[in-house]
């Protein structure tokens, strides 16, 4: 039963990460937008959770970098939103 649970968690993460990339390529999400970065962040976290059950070092490392990149994107989005708009 635990195998199925962690497989569902991992596949949900995969769909979020791959879905974000497809939406980006289709021009439906901007790369600098909050939606794209949140999809990537949540997908990477779900994949990391599934990797804690079925560990793979290479996949674990890439998900850490994916989380870091997503957090940088969210930070940049919030920073740009707070910056005064120049006309």
Instruction: Report the percentage of the chain scoring pLDDT > 90.
Output: 92
Confidence category of residue 86, pLDDT binned at 50, 70, 90:
low
Inside any domain, residue 37? yes
* Global pTM exceeds 0.75: yes
Q: Phi-psi category of 46—alpha, beta or left, where left has phi over 0 and alpha has psi -120 to 50?
A: alpha
Residue 76, domain member (yes or no)? yes
Domain presence at residue 39: yes
Confidence (pLDDT) at 87: 54
Q: Quote the number of domains for the chain.
A: 1
Mean pLDDT of 58-65: 97
Give the pLDDT mean for 23-28: 97
Domain boundaries, position 32: 2-82
Nearest to 17 by CA among 2, 36, 34: 36
pLDDT of residue 1: 83
On whether residue 87 sits in a domain, the answer given is no
Residue 13 lies in a domain: yes
Res. 85: pLDDT tops 80:
no
For residue 46, being part of any structural domain is answered with yes
């Amino acid at each position: 039963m635990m195998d199925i649970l962690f497989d569902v968690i991992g596949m949900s993460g995969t769909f979020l990460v791959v879905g974000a990339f497809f939406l980006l390529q289709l021009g439906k999400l901007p790369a600098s937008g909050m939606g794209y970065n949140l999809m990537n962040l949540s997908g990477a976290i779900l994949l990391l959770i599934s990797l804690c059950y079925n560990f793979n070092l290479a996949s674990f490392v890439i998900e850490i970098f994916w989380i870091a990149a997503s957090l940088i994107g969210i930070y940049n989005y919030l920073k740009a939103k707070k910056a005064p708009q120049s006309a």
